[in-house]
Amino acid sequence: MVLADRAEIASGATGKAMGGFRQQFSTEAEVRLAQESAKLFRELGAPLFEPVGYMFLATSAAGWERLHKRASLQRSLGVPVEQVDPGRFEGLRTQDVHGAVACWEDGVAEPAAVTRELVRRAAELGVDVRERIDARQLPADVLVVACGAASSELRPELPIRPLCRQLVDVGPIRSLPVDLPMTIEDETTFHFRRRGETLRLAMTEASPRWTSEQVVDERLVDDWRARLADRFPPAAGAPLVRAWAGLYDMTPDAHPIIGEIADGVYAACGFSGHGFMQSPAVGRAVAQELLFGEAELDLSPYRLSRFADEATMHAEQVVL
């Protein structure tokens, strides 16, 4: 088995990711993927993964109703989501919050470091890791296309478009709570997480940038810093550390494409911003399907054929 990267391991979207992991999804299929992935993140533990939790804030009655509805689905599937008091976290402004839910098994991770650790383990088991090479140049019985936003370059039949998204780090911030969870405003999608003495910020952009150009929009940087100062006043005026852009590999329904797409060609791409957090489950399921003909997880919702018959899934939000 060969793992080929046209650049270096984790040098693409993975190395630019927010680094969140959650089980709080809005469809059963994706909750199941996340639950399976959670096993690996728990096994990795600190410093690669910190279960500080994911907390969703609702700032309207309608938003609070949506959170209740999603939490009910998640709890029915075994995700320990609970109603919480966000005021327990010092510095967080909560006067406008109608309610909040959180899962404390969720948390934050270091995507590049996690990826390198998994690749190291794979190499120890005999996987031939090759960097700075095009996999199409190698002889293969099966080609697995897992190239993120570049996947459609290899296989044009994949309905994947690159979406430019960006992140911002600010800090240092004095007395930053060590247990501060990933905090998300449900209505706006503005969210932030602690990373050492800094905070990492992101938000779904009002005008999607359908482009492969990875460019930072400075207006968004200013807007997000203002939003952070409002939601977490201790961070007001915190220096800008850096801002950077990366690519989501978006599908029409914001769900991945997993499965055989041609004779000898298999896809695992189109994760639409959730690739890092879903990768442990998907990697295991893909290996099982390729080696044994079927996977323990139900991969049927993710087949390419769903776009032909228009039987698509719908996610309520794509924020991370």
The 10s digit of each residue's pLDDT in 146-199 is 999 999 999 999 999 999 999 999 999 988 999 999 999 999 999 999 999 999
Task: Report the percentage of the chain scoring pLDDT > 70.
Answer: 96
Parts of the chain belonging to CATH 3.50.50.60: 141-160+251-310
Average pLDDT over residues 101-106: 97
Q: How confident is the model at residue 88 (pLDDT cuts 50, 70, 90)?
A: very high
Strand 191-195, strand 182-185: pairing:
antiparallel
User: Do 166 and 220 form a contact (C-beta atoms < 8 A)?
Assistant: yes
Parts of the chain belonging to CATH 3.30.9.10: 20-109+162-250
Backbone phi, psi, residue 163, to 5°: -120, 120
Q: What is the CATH number of domain 20-109+162-250?
A: 3.30.9.10
Q: What is the CATH number of domain 141-160+251-310?
A: 3.50.50.60
* H helix runs in the chain, sequence order: 28-44, 61-76, 111-124, 151-154, 218-231, 275-292
What's the pLDDT at 175? 85
167 Cβ partners below 8 Å, 6+ apart?
16, 18, 200, 201, 202, 243, 244, 245, 246
Q: Could you report the per-residue pLDDT of 276-312, keeping only the tens digit for each? A: 999 999 999 999 999 999 999 999 999 999 998 654 5
Residue 9, phi-psi category: left (phi > 0), alpha (psi -120 to 50), beta (remainder): beta
Q: How confident is the model at residue 317 (pLDDT cuts 50, 70, 90)?
A: very low
Average pLDDT over residues 105-127: 95
Mean pLDDT taken over the chain: 93
Q: Could you report the per-residue pLDDT of 222-250, keeping only the tens digit for each? A: 999 999 999 999 999 999 999 999 999 99
Burial of 303 (0-12, 13-18, 19+ CB in 10 A): middle
Number of helices and strands (H, E) in the chain? 6, 16
Model-level pTM? 0.91
What's the pLDDT at 225? 98
